Amino acid sequence: MAPGVLIQNEKPDGHAISKNNVGDARSLVEAEKRLHPIVLKTFRLLIADLCQQFKGGHPGGAIGMAAIGVALWKYVMRYAPHTPDFFNRDRFILSNGHTCLFQYTFLHLTGYKAMTFDQLKSYHSERPDALCPGHPEIEHEGIEVTTGPLGQGVANAVGLAMATKHLAATFNRPGFDIVSNHTWCMIGDACLQEGVALEAISLAGHFRLNNLTIIYDNNQITCDGTVDLTNTENVNEKMKACGWNVVDIEDGNFDIIGIVNALENAKQSDKPTFINVRTVIGLGSKVAGTAVAHGAAFGPEDVANMKRANGFDPEAHFVIGDEVKSFFEGLPARGQGYVSEWDNLLSRYSEAHPELASRFRKRMTGEIDPVWRDLIPKPGAFPQKPTPTRASNGLCLNPIAKDVDSFMVGTADLSPSVHMSWPGMVDFQHPDLRPNCGINGDYTGRYIHYGVREHAMCAIANGLAAFAPDTIVPVTSSFFMFYLYAAPAVRMGALQRLHVIHAATHDSIGMGEDGPTHQPIELAALYRAMPNLLFFRPGDSEETAGAWTAAIEARGTPSIISTSRHAVPQLQGTRREGVARGAYVLQENERAAVTLLGVGAELSHAVDVAALLKDRGVEARVVSFPCQRLFGAQPKAYQRDVLRRHHAPAVVLEPYAPNGWERYADAAACVTRFGHSLPGKAAYKYFGFDAESLTEKVLRYLDMVKEDELLKHEFVEL
């Protein structure tokens, strides 16, 4: 099979795209149509067998989507099974991740080396090294993002398509479309109901991401029954209203030719495309078209009957005939053809545009320009006046974001609050957009207005980061409290080891008048417990620099840097190296009767309390504790030296639910109810977080433990 021929096509907006030779795909699919029935049958029976093997899994959707898969993997998608990380490959996202066998089976058929026949059969097995988990996982060859929690994949796909647009606008030059891939996102009925997908769909239409196609497996079945139990909207009209090109496929079970045409046309659209493909879940089984086909094996009898009805031996399992094998066998070679073409293109580009090509290669390999270390203000270089740590965020990141192209910074509509913009920054926008407020942009832009869509923001950021490791380092921003809206996406970033940095502000009752709906009390407990996430609360500008340094260095780990709305003093002795260790001694005192653990926006309260305690004849040490996880990773000796709990009890001062601090402290001045709408200082006073009240609490605690020895071994809330 000849590799597709690369064609240059100048689009009216000046962005060149390269694409398959469409004629080739369309003539090929016609030429091979006699093979399609056996391919589809084989695929569907294989799915039935794979679920029957261990009597579980999700057969129905994968079976229904067979023809879509053939259209994609055989005819339309540009990818290279033997070079899975080919930089300019099309990205395929299975947002309905429970149908993972669909993807695993095509990975096997198309020749991905890791997906051996044995591995394919590991689905639902007890093999701990299986490449076929219950939902696709990014760690495995051919999988672009981990999916499963519904709707996430749609937003990830939007991020991937934005990454392409951005890299293309930045690096492509006439005749050199070095970044030109398309993003294909498969969804089911459920993804269209999830808010995160609806947010992302709206934004994708706004950005006119014509390099993005959603393929809707419209089988009208979810777990509870037919979709019309819960959703009777006109989805096509809704998508059109959101700025999408909409195409219908009536016979999605068999019409491979129609699907190929629709997919090829999608690549020519000036908008993102939504292909509404009618399929039958569990086609050919006795539960076809019903919810029962969704999440359970069909049973041996039904599987045998399906085989009989399709002319297969009911006693033979996992059968892939020679005709079917040969149907797919040329795909690795075709893929290597794409790779060679592209390598050649990149060589010629390097000659024509050597400086640009050098930058591009660095970005490709995820090199973040090390100049970033020089751009963060040095110790002592910050303004010494009291500064909100949200402003410190900007002081740290903005010089980097301005000069280091890897960073794409965005906000969920809080630009005036988050301080994350820089002089000369360009918005990421469709170049033709002319907003009424006059802020134009184009796809080279690295500042993203996500709108009031916190959840999609973080899920899209995951997509930007998933394009290739550290090619783009996305930074999101919002109020800390609204990272609860985004939490499922933050989690997926941590699970996938995506390098995303979340700049959260207004992280304390000190944020004031907005009141309990905006004052985080329990949220830090979630992020401190979340695996593979660094959660920082820096105490001043110097500590903020430490948090950004650690977050940028933490390849493979996302971070949340959580900062204050209100000004906090610049403290003596804070140091970024201390932040890197999670906690450190800010004020040592050999005669200390108590260690105060100060955190983030309230670190200065700990310093003030230590001074007031001294006036009352009590010596105190102060430990700054910006990041529990980094401290937990320190050697035991360091931890003991910082905490010195065998010498004096430790009291943490943080106006949050104290859950988890019990590990490091004996008592807490904390807040275990929701907040209260008051100006910041008044709120601190109301909750006993002014220095005087805190001092009284610490003194009371020291008295209490004298009276009741048992309290020494019990965590006390003050």
Q: Using CB under 8 A, which of 21, 38, 686, 696 touches its own copies?
A: 686
Residues of span 52-71 touching its own copies by CB under 8 A: 54, 56-57
CA distances from 433 to 439, 442, 583 (A): 9, 8, 47
Q: Find out whether 413 and 450 touch, Cβ atoms under 8 Å.
A: yes
Q: How far is the CB of 271 from its own copies (least distance, A)?
A: 11
Q: Using CB under 8 A, which of 663, 700, 703, 706 touches its own copies?
A: 663
Residue 485 binding its own copies, by CB under 8 A: yes
* Site of tokens 């089988």: 219
In terms of CB distance, is 35 or 711 closer to its own copies? 711
DSSP bridge partners of 597 = 623, 652
Amino acid identity, position 284: G
Q: How far is the CB of 340 from its own copies (least distance, A)?
A: 36
The rounded distance, in Å, linking the Cα atoms of 508 and 487 is: 18
In terms of CB distance, is 88 or 628 closer to its own copies? 628
Q: What is the DSSP code string of 207-220? A: HT-TTEEEEEEE--
In terms of CB distance, is 68 or 187 closer to its own copies? 187
Report which of 241, 262, 239 is spatially closest to residue 250, judged by C-alpha positions. Answer: 262
In terms of CB distance, is 254 or 715 closer to its own copies? 715
Window of 113-121, 223-231, 279-287, 558-566 that interacts with its own copies by CB under 8 A: 223-231
In terms of CB distance, is 250 or 641 closer to its own copies? 641
Q: How far is the CB of 229 from its own copies (least distance, A)?
A: 5
Q: How far is the CB of 512 from its own copies (least distance, A)?
A: 8
Q: How far is the CB of 147 from its own copies (least distance, A)?
A: 7
Residues of span 230-269 touching its own copies by CB under 8 A: 230-238, 240-243
Window of 216-224, 350-358, 540-548, 696-704 that interacts with its own copies by CB under 8 A: 216-224
Contact partners, residue 60, CB within 8 Å, separation at least 6? 219, 221, 281, 282, 285, 287, 293, 294, 295
Window of 120-128, 347-355, 550-558, 610-618 that interacts with its own copies by CB under 8 A: 120-128
Amino acid identity, position 89: R
Q: Find out whether 154 and 95 touch, Cβ atoms under 8 Å.
A: yes
Residues of span 153-192 touching its own copies by CB under 8 A: 189-191
Q: Find out whether 208 and 216 touch, Cβ atoms under 8 Å.
A: no
Q: Using CB under 8 A, which of 315, 423, 646, 707 touches its own copies?
A: 646
Compute the C-alpha angle 488/490/493, nearest 5°.
Answer: 110
The rounded distance, in Å, linking the Cα atoms of 660 and 658 is: 6
The site that binds its own copies (CB under 8 A) totals a number of residues, namely 125
The rounded distance, in Å, linking the Cα atoms of 478 and 485 is: 11
In terms of CB distance, is 528 or 576 closer to its own copies? 528
Contact partners, residue 402, CB within 8 Å, separation at least 6? 422, 423, 424, 425
Query: Would you call 407 helix, strand, or coil by DSSP?
Result: strand
In terms of CB distance, is 179 or 412 closer to its own copies? 412
Residue 271 binding its own copies, by CB under 8 A: no
The rounded distance, in Å, linking the Cα atoms of 658 and 542 is: 25
Residue 523 binding its own copies, by CB under 8 A: yes
Q: Could you tell me the two tokens for 202?
A: 């709206």
Residue 405 binding its own copies, by CB under 8 A: no
Q: How far is the CB of 11 from its own copies (least distance, A)?
A: 20
Amino acid identity, position 679: P
In terms of CB distance, is 2 or 229 closer to its own copies? 229
Encoded one letter per residue, x for contact with its own copies by CB under 8 A and - for no contact, window 358-397 reads ----------------------------------------
Amino acid identity, position 322: D
Residues of span 541-570 touching its own copies by CB under 8 A: none
Q: How far is the CB of 138 from its own copies (least distance, A)?
A: 11
Active site residue 454: yes
Q: Using CB under 8 A, which of 49, 137, 442, 543 touches its own copies?
A: 137
Q: Could you tell me the two tokens for 87?
A: 């930089």
Residue 114 binding its own copies, by CB under 8 A: no
Amino acid identity, position 601: A
Q: Using CB under 8 A, which of 168, 196, 613, 623 touches its own copies?
A: 196
Window of 6-14, 140-148, 460-468, 698-706 that interacts with its own copies by CB under 8 A: 140-148
Q: How far is the CB of 441 from its own copies (least distance, A)?
A: 9
Q: Find out whether 282 and 290 touch, Cβ atoms under 8 Å.
A: yes
Residues of span 414-433 touching its own copies by CB under 8 A: 414-417, 427, 429, 433
| φ and ψ of 441, to 5 deg | -165, -170
Encoded one letter per residue, x for contact with its own copies by CB under 8 A and - for no contact, window 455-484 reads xx------------------------xx-x
Q: Using CB under 8 A, which of 674, 692, 700, 703 touches its own copies?
A: 674
Q: How far is the CB of 239 from its own copies (least distance, A)?
A: 8
Q: How far is the CB of 35 from its own copies (least distance, A)?
A: 33
Q: Could you tell me the two tokens for 363?
A: 């970005």
Window of 274-282, 444-452, 542-550, 557-565 that interacts with its own copies by CB under 8 A: 444-452
The rounded distance, in Å, linking the Cα atoms of 310 and 304 is: 10
Residue 451 binding its own copies, by CB under 8 A: yes
Residue 635 binding its own copies, by CB under 8 A: no
Q: How far is the CB of 174 from its own copies (least distance, A)?
A: 29
Q: Could you tell me the two tokens for 406?
A: 């890897």
Window of 18-26, 67-75, 287-295, 563-571 that interacts with its own copies by CB under 8 A: 287-295
CA distances from 343 to 151, 339, 346, 353, 420 (A): 35, 6, 5, 15, 37
Residue 659 binding its own copies, by CB under 8 A: yes
Q: Which listed residue (194, 264, 454, 542) is catalytic?
A: 454
Measured distance between the N- and C-terminal CA atoms of the chain, rounded to whole angstroms: 74
The rounded distance, in Å, linking the Cα atoms of 143 and 93 is: 8
In terms of CB distance, is 227 or 262 closer to its own copies? 227
CA distances from 483 to 462, 554, 625, 676 (A): 14, 20, 21, 20
Residue 199 binding its own copies, by CB under 8 A: yes
Largest Cα span, the chain: 92
Residues of span 490-509 touching its own copies by CB under 8 A: 491-492, 494-495
Q: Where are the alpha helices (DSSP H) in 561-624?
A: 576-580, 603-615
The rounded distance, in Å, linking the Cα atoms of 441 and 449 is: 11
Residue 140 binding its own copies, by CB under 8 A: no
Report which of 450, 454, 474, 483 is spatially closest to residue 551, judged by C-alpha positions. Answer: 474
Q: How far is the CB of 148 from its own copies (least distance, A)?
A: 3
CB-facing half-sphere around the CA of 274: CA atoms within 13 A: 25
Question: Could you tell me the sign of the dihedral formed by the alpha carbons of 428, 203, 61, 125, in that order?
Answer: positive
Catalytic residues: 454
